[in-house]
A and B are shown apart, each in its own frame.
Chain A
Amino acid sequence: MIKLWGLLFFVFSAGAAPPSKPSQQVKVELEWEEIVGSTFYEVEVLRKDKTLVTTLKSPSPAMSVNLEPGYYLVRGRVRDHFNIQGEWSRLKEFLVPPKKIQAIAGQNSQMQVDPTTFMAPLKLHWEPPTGAHRYRIVLFNQDGKEIAKHESLQPQFSLSLRPGVYTYKVTPLTRDGVEGETFESPSMVVKSRPIPEVEEVAMEGENKKALLQWKKKTTLPTSVRLEYQKHFSTRWTRIHQSEIVETQWGLPQDLKPGKYRVLLWNRNRFGDVSSIKTLEFVIKPQESVL
């Protein structure tokens, strides 16, 4: 009598497939409880969509099969001494994960931003592990917060990073989404680069028709701010601010008597700023006014 039996399958990934088999396949060992009275076991391995992958037959309750990593279903039935075939067991799922990524190249524990873009390029690449169809890459900041997620069909990934501390994880996945072991990176530190400051600030001409000039070793725009303070006051009042590409700026004419200071700094598109250069001057009244 053929009993309905629950097959207990133990699945092992036994390593890479033998050279004669396709390279994306891994050897999987199947075994189950022996059914008393059975002489022959028949096992079907199906894909998730129930299409048949292979049929295995064995007199013993153990078989091995080469499969591509992925999601599978398996069922079995037995024959007894009288060659009577039993019914198929319930379908049971099992996963064959892709192999793990051994190493990832292209990362440095310390990086510095590019002086023109103020970002550090990160280009990762790795040997594609057996069975991986695509890869999920997740980037984390120093607080462990996920800041970027990406899926790639290729075993590579590029990103530009702002100054900070980062880690990332790369998980190989099969075609049908079975995840392999995640590769976790060590910390990477991206150091900022100081923004070159304004140099050699000088004022030409009389205070009331003056031209402010400076030099700089960058193409970044310069912020110019003019502030005013009355003698004996502690408060500076902003009277002008602008961002310019040139290395000179004409002061407003007819400045009223008092103290002035001009502040200059360079700034990139991320808001990183150089140190501030300051130039102070005093406007005095004309004798005729007094």
Chain B
Amino acid sequence: MKIRHWLLALLLSVSPRLGLAAAQQESPKIPENYIACKSADEFEQSVEYFRSEKTLELNDSQVVKWSLTIARGCTGALQRFKQIYELLNKSGVDLRKCVEMAASFSKKSDEQTKSFAGLFKTFFLENYFDLDFMTAFEVSEKLSQNPAKSEYARKDFERLYKFCTDQNKLGLPFKNCAQYSLGLLKHYDLFPEGIYPSFEVTYLFLTTQAGAVLSVKEALETTSEVLAAGPLAPENFKRAFNYSVSKKGLDTSMKQSMRIALEVAKASLKEKTP
């Protein structure tokens, strides 16, 4: 009896150390410039997914081929694939294109995938901007290309849609909002952190602080002109307008001040000389 107790005590004293030793066999260290990928998980889950997705009618070699493609997209690739594939399939896109697009997004980031899905819904659906399919698709694809900007793009257009269609704000019909938003895309590259904040600031200034001399249409057009000059243009416009209209400044009329402010705003961006 005593020996058994002794053995039991010895075992109990050793086993935590054994567990600790086991725990010390952790994941290998990954160099700083790389991301660790659970490619085996992605591969296995992809095979199961493609086998179950009867609409695709893939044979075994195609299942392996596509599963390997997804595995190369690193952790989360299958989820990204599924998100885009199902979005496009339910929107009536040709299956081959669905798979091609979904596969391309499987290699991108979660944010890019989320941005494309969000932008596409905002641009395409009937209750939103209701654009034609190709415009909605191409614009969404373009705006979600840049990993750093894709999140801004999604949020920008969602907020633009809400601002534009809100009856207490612009209250414009969907089509007009859609056309205006597409017009802003021309200047989008000038705004690395998104365009919406600059839009809102400028528009509200033109319709409230600037003496409300502009109609909604004029305010939107002027906003677009200001934004064409980049992210500093709204601030330059405001300052130039306030200076022109003030007695200490030029003391000119509202309209004249507006013109001057616009010219000053247009000088907000200058290309660097090579």
Binding site for B on A (CB under 8 A): 230-233, 256-259, 282-285, 287, 289-290
Q: Are A285 and B90 in contact (CB under 8 A)?
A: yes
List A contacts of B97 (CB < 8 A).
Answer: 231-233
Q: Are B94 and A232 in contact (CB under 8 A)?
A: yes
Q: What distance in Å separates the Cβ of B99 from its nearest Cβ neighbour in chain A?
A: 11
Q: Are B93 and A231 in contact (CB under 8 A)?
A: yes
Binding site for A on B (CB under 8 A): 87, 90-97, 121, 124-127, 130, 132-134, 137
Q: Are A230 and B92 in contact (CB under 8 A)?
A: yes
Q: Are A256 and B87 in contact (CB under 8 A)?
A: no
Give the A-B pair count, Cβ closer than 8 A. Answer: 47
List B contacts of A257 (CB < 8 A).
Answer: 90-92
List A contacts of B91 (CB < 8 A).
Answer: 231, 257, 284-285, 290
List A contacts of B95 (CB < 8 A).
Answer: 230
Q: Are A230 and B90 in contact (CB under 8 A)?
A: no
Majority-rule SS of A interface residues: loop
Q: What distance in Å separates the Cβ of A122 from its nearest Cβ neighbour in chain B?
A: 54
Which chain A residue lies CB-closest to B88?
A: A231
Besides the known contacts A233-B94, A259-B133, A284-B124, 10 further A-B residue pairs in the complex with CB atoms under 8 A apart: A230-B94, A257-B90, A258-B92, A283-B92, A284-B125, A284-B130, A285-B92, A287-B127, A290-B90, A290-B121
Q: What distance in Å separates the Cβ of A208 from its nearest Cβ neighbour in chain B?
A: 11
List B contacts of A283 (CB < 8 A).
Answer: 92
Which chain B residue lies CB-closest to A256?
A: B92
Q: Are B137 and A231 in contact (CB under 8 A)?
A: yes
List A contacts of B134 (CB < 8 A).
Answer: 231
Q: What distance in Å separates the Cβ of A162 from its nearest Cβ neighbour in chain B?
A: 44
CA A204 to CA B94, docked complex, whole Å: 28
CA A206 to CA B133, docked complex, whole Å: 18
CA A287 to CA B96, docked complex, whole Å: 23
Q: What distance in Å separates the Cβ of B117 from its nearest Cβ neighbour in chain A?
A: 8
8 pairs across A/B with beta carbons < 8 Å?
A230-B93, A231-B91, A231-B93, A283-B92, A284-B125, A285-B90, A287-B121, A290-B121
